Amino acid sequence: MIKRTLMVNGIARQVICELDESLANVLRENLGLTSVKIGCGTAQCGSCTVIMDGKLVRSCSMKMKRVEDGAVIITTEGIGTPDNLHPIQLSWIANGGAQCGFCTPGFIVSTKALLDSNPKPTREDIRDWFQKNRNACRCTGYKQLVDAVMDAAAVMRGEKTTDELCFKIPEDGRIWGTKYPRPTAVAKVTGTLDYGADLGIKMPEGTLKLALVQAEVSHAKILSIDTSEAEKMPGVEKVVTHKDVKGKNRITGLITFPTNKGDGWDRPILCDEKVFQYGDAIAIVCADTEKNAKAAAAKVKVELERLPEYMSAPAAMADDAIEIHPGTPNVYFEQRIAKGGETEPIFDKADAVVEGEYFTTRQPHMPIEPDVGFAYLDDDGKLCIHSKSIGLHLHLYMIAPGLGVEPENLVMVQNPAGGTFGYKFSPTMEALIGAACLATGKPVFLCYDYYQQQTYTGKRSPQFTNVRLAADKDGKILGMETDWTVDHGPYSEFGDLLTLRGAQFIGAGYDIDNIRGMGRTVATNHAWGAAFRGYGGPEAEFASESLMDDLAEKLGMDPLELRYKNVYRKGSTTPTGQDPEVYSLPEMIEKLRPKYEAAKKKASAESTDALKRGVGVAIGVYGSGLDGPDTAEVDVQLNEDNTVTVLTCWHDHGQGADIGVLGTAHEALRPLGLEPEQIRLILNDTRQCPNGGPAGGSRSQVVIGRAIKAACELLMGGMRKSDGSFRTYKEMIDEKIAVKYNGKWTAPATECDANGQGKPFACYMYGLTMAEVAVETATGKTSVEKMTMVADIGKINNRLAVDGQIYGGLAQGIGLALSENFEDIKKHSTMKGAGFPYIKQVPDDMEIIYVETPRPEGPFGASGVGEIPLCAPHPAIINAIYNACGVRITELPALPEKVLAGLKG
């Protein structure tokens, strides 16, 4: 042990700790400075950044033995407080820099160090600084962060006032469609918002820390589990195995379709008979400290009999492959698409036919915050689970039978969460911490390290997609044939629904009367398939949008003009036979066309033999909602002080649930003349909030938004007097009129049939993306120099939130196109190894053009936004690479060696 006196934020603080303890843990756990976040834990993300003796330090990798006595340390708490914000923090709020907010304190500290050393940085100086210091963000796309630094620097130089930075409510009082800051913004920029790991530090005395015993193979029979040695280790309370789980010990995948050949009960909470993938949980060690828990976990002995490991769909589909889940075939679901007439005669007579085979990779979500949660038994005997879940009611019913808990005795709460981008649509650790809490009767806490985050959470399911297009000589698409295979890993949850997306979105955006195809879901032993932003759209549209460029080349047409000729117009239908609710794609193309022509001229003029430049375009379409009659409920109540409280489960994984609820409710309640501060939000707690449904499929703004509108209208109906004025709370009580109302909305939609035909979504989103790239011919390295997106997401609720979603989605699309992968479990187990895009991999030049076509079914005309910016940037980039150098990449990511091989070929 060592003693150090540290000068932290201007105050002398004494700490006693181990020599090899990290500075991050000392600041967080000894001193309670939880603005210091631990993300990757390996100095690759910058969330733990502090200033020590005038220099930036990534404190997760700084051991205390290297920290001098008297070291001067500055954390976010020392830069500004909620009641005394620093210009950097004000600027972060004004520019929408804090989305999920987990990385924000690290960026604030890093910016302070930058501006102390360089008061007048250029945009490139700022980007170089964040690149050098490894400040990583997965939400924003970085552009807003550079904007924030530029504005803060201007204020600090006296060239701009703080008043100019602060949002001002318009004279009409409306915040809908404005840049009103999200309610959590101040807490995020000051580091005072407690995320899961921060709350874990503040759990009651006696809370047990958990460590998992996990499989280090991908497929095996379990012969024995010996916990005897582990149970004797210091501090161990209990080692939990499948024998301690009182229920079915299974997480139900809630099979969506009756044609699914599985029953959905294929994922164990704790493995009992088999290991199905690398990282599967076999036991949970519950101990007094995390260090003791991990030491004991290493002593659990698991005897295995190795089985063949099917790490891809083709391997699992081979004739000699055994069934991963005995009794269920590895190909356990099939989805047809049959629209219009038979396609074979059309292809026989078509003037132009093109075909391509495409592969989209197992993209890792790579949030900065690793998965984290805790559980306890409350005074009513209910099991309470707090986590990053973005589907609290959904997960409650998925895990309750496995745990042996009646649903009414299970409470699910979402902690403030760093981005999830969809992986938390699946329960990850919820059942594990629930099982440990029930087995010990004590509160428990579990936080994954980044290796566990990478290896033991779901990933985007890889997809093999074959598409054929037939067209006449004028470019009119006559027919399409498709075949797609989804590698969904070992667990079936939502795998059938994902495969349906191929029927819905391959060829989406175009008027194609005749379609035939078949898709299938395959069980493998690689990482389980979880929802990821776009959920089937990026996989489907990569294939059809790449092939559209090939068709244009064959016809001698410009790729944008071929798209213009075929996009939805009145009389067109989607691949499912549904009439689009709006027909904005022609207008969107017209808005892009002059920029596209200018970009092509620029690329041609600036290309050299060493650096080839090119331009690519792609269309993206996605639905806002879960298929069919998607439903949400919201409670709204009038309070004694005549403010209003809105209660619902609009889950937040960085996209801005708080501002989504507030903006929608404020617009609905405008007749009452309330200030935004007079609307209170209670979100994401199943004990208090009705079921709003999970945060996926860009459904929340539409489905929950309509339920908010309905609830607010019911409340105002109760408050309204005969003269049109409104009753006060006291008048409502005196007249015995209810002050709390439940609003419910169900989408007027129908699920798709066996042929993929139906009206699955009430609202859609439309995007047109243009990428400008440069390809180094000596290395094959591709740089994206500009991204432009024309987006029709209906009427905009909050511009900061929507801009952030689009910039962030484009950045993730760049990663999907060029670098991101989770194929090699060891190589891709870190952020850097998995191809995380840092700021210099994402262009500063990103432009958004909005076409706000009001949606008939959307609340105040809004549609969703989250999915659409990741549906088409990657095919636009791949098309731009082809335009630049003639290399057609069909398997993502387009690593330099792939492009170079194409150049040499």
Task: Give the residue numbers annotated as catalytic, written as ranges.
Answer: 867
- Give the H/E segment covering residue 861: none
CA gap 635, 690 in Å, rounded? 7
CA gap 49, 38 in Å, rounded? 9
Report whether 732 contacts 641 (CB < 8 A): no
Does residue 745 sit in helix, strand or coil?
A: strand
Q: What would the DSSP string read from start to end of 327-346?
A: TB-SEEEEEEEEESS-SHHH
CA gap 690, 434 in Å, rounded? 22
For Cα atoms 370, 373, 376, give the angle at the middle one, nearest 5 degrees.
Answer: 170
SS3 helix, strand, coil % of the chain, rounded to 5? 30, 25, 45
Count other C-beta atoms under 10 Å from residue 847's C-beta: 12
Alpha-carbon Rg for the chain, nearest whole angstrom, is 27
10 Å CB burial of residue 83 (0-12, 13-18, 19+) is exposed
The single-letter code of the amino acid at 21 is E
Q: Whose structure tokens read 């649903």?
A: 407
CA gap 395, 416 in Å, rounded? 17
Count other C-beta atoms under 10 Å from residue 167's C-beta: 14
The single-letter code of the amino acid at 801 is A
Q: What would the DSSP string read from start to end of 672-731?
A: GT--GGGEEEEESBTTTS-----S-TT-IIIIIHHHHHHHHHHHHHHHB-TTS-B--HHH
10 Å CB burial of residue 249 (0-12, 13-18, 19+) is buried
The single-letter code of the amino acid at 80 is G
- According to DSSP, the residues that pair with 333 across neighbouring strands are 521
CA gap 809, 346 in Å, rounded? 37
Backbone angles phi, psi at 98, to 5 degrees: -100, 100
The single-letter code of the amino acid at 292 is N
CA gap 887, 898 in Å, rounded? 9
Copy the structure tokens of residue 120: 């007048």
CA gap 617, 595 in Å, rounded? 11
Nearest to 852 by CA among 804, 791, 801: 791
Report whether 495 contacts 461 (CB < 8 A): yes
Would you mind telling me the total number of residues written for the chain in this entry? 905
Does residue 644 sit in helix, strand or coil?
A: strand
Report whether 623 contacts 764 (CB < 8 A): yes
CA gap 454, 532 in Å, rounded? 14
Q: Whose structure tokens read 């053009």?
A: 849
Q: How far is residue 333 from each of residues 128, 195, 500, 522, measured CA to CA in Å?
A: 48, 38, 10, 8
b/e sequence 201-211, b meaning 16+ C-beta within 10 Å = eebeeebbbbb
CA gap 605, 623 in Å, rounded? 39
For Cα atoms 573, 576, 578, give the angle at the middle one, nearest 5 degrees.
Answer: 45
Q: At what angle do helices 143-156 and 104-117 cross, to 10 degrees?
A: 40
